[in-house]
Structure 1
Amino acid sequence: MYPKEYIQFLAHFHGDRDYFECHEILEEYWKKHDVKNKNSIWVGLILLAVSTYHHRRKNFNGAKRTLEKAITIFKTQSDLVIKLGLDLQLLHNILLERLSLINNQQRYISFNLPIGDQGLLNLGKRYCQQDGYVWGMESDLSNDQLIHRHSLRDRKSVIDERNQSLKLRKGNV
């Protein structure tokens, strides 16, 4: 009923709190299924993960900008928010609270998405358990690999892909 990638997203969001991985998983899914749609529900969820990643790193400007975009998408895609097993009103309230924390430059606090579908919740918890994480655990703020993952990862493949794309556009292949 739900895409495997969405369940993986939820497991990382609520388990190891690896918001960078959340972004990676759903971006790949979005590129395969809805890439031209910048207002896709998948983009909204990606932006939510990115905002949360920025907030945890105290990048309040980035967190605010991406969360505001996510909120806009969730408003326009409200039927899909519900189809994805989330409680629309609770989600809206949570995101407004998050935006207030960010606007007031208050520290990041782990939070859970309001999943209304018990079956989806159970799937997410099972996924966490398989990966050795506990659903709803607090983010490990001492784990630099988690907190600063984008700047610590090996970017060679990303750079190579960009260079290849540039060559294709210029006709140099």
Structure 2
Amino acid sequence: MYPEAYVQFLVQFHAHRDYFECHEILEEFWKETDPGNRLSLWVGLIQTAVGLYHHRRENFRGAEKIFASAHSILQANTDSLLQLGLDAETLLDKVDQCLTAARHRNMFQDINLPITDPGLTERCRQECDHQQVTWLNASDLTNKQLIHRHILRHHSGREEGRIQQKRNI
């Protein structure tokens, strides 16, 4: 009933708390299903995860900007949110609270997307069991790889390039 990419997004969002990976999963799906539509529901969900990623890293200005955009896009897609088993009004409130928290430089807190479909929740729990992770897990704020994923990925890629260059000499 729901796209597999969406289920994987929800598992990353609620169990791994890997908001960077949430972005990667849904961006690929969005580009396949609704390419170029910057006002797509998928973009709103991607931006919600990216906003949390920035907020958790204390990039408050980046989080503010992304949360404001996410709120606007999600507000324009409330019917689609309902079709994805989400309570649109509650989600909009949560994103607005995240925006306010970032604006006031408040400490990061995870949020849970307001899933209304018990079947979707059960599907996500089953996938968590399969991946051996805990549904509704809290962010591990001591995990530098999780917190700074895009920077560490970029740096490790550069390092791999340097190693390859040395091998070619």
Same fold? TM cut 0.5: yes
More deviation, 122-131/139-148: 122-131
Asked if 1:90 corresponds to 2:85, the answer is no
Which residue is equivalent to 1:34?
A: 34
Which residue is equivalent to 1:71?
A: 71
Contact 1:12-1:128 within 8 A present in 2 as well: no
Distance 2:2 2:149 in 1: 27
What is the CA distance between 1:105 and its match in structure 2? Answer: 0.4
Deviating beyond 3 angstroms after TM superposition, the runs of 4 or more aligned structure 1 residues are none
What is the CA distance between 1:130 and its match in structure 2? Answer: 1.3
Asked if 1:44 corresponds to 2:44, the answer is yes
Q: Any idea what the Cα deviations from partners look like across 1:110-141, whole Å, max 9, x if unmatched?
A: 12110001111111111122111111111000
Distance 2:157 2:43 in 1: 22
What is the CA distance between 1:72 and its match in structure 2? Answer: 0.5
Which residue is equivalent to 1:111?
A: 111
Contact 2:70-2:95 within 8 A present in 1 as well: no
Structure 2 segments unaligned to the other structure (5+ residues)? 162-169
Aligned-residue CA RMSD in angstroms?
1.3
Contact 2:11-2:135 within 8 A present in 1 as well: yes
Which residue is equivalent to 1:123?
A: 123
TM-score by length of 2: 0.89
Letter paired with 2:33: H
Q: Secondary structure at the match of 1:5?
A: helix
Distance 1:49 1:125 in 2: 19
Contact 2:16-2:137 within 8 A present in 1 as well: yes
Distance 2:12 2:51 in 1: 15
Which residue is equivalent to 1:18?
A: 18
Distance 1:48 1:97 in 2: 12
TM-score by length of 1: 0.87
Residues 115-154 of structure 1: pairs in structure 2 closer than 5 A: 115-153=115-153, 154=156
Distance 1:72 1:59 in 2: 20
Letter paired with 1:115: I
Work out the percentage of aligned pairs sharing the same amino acid. 46
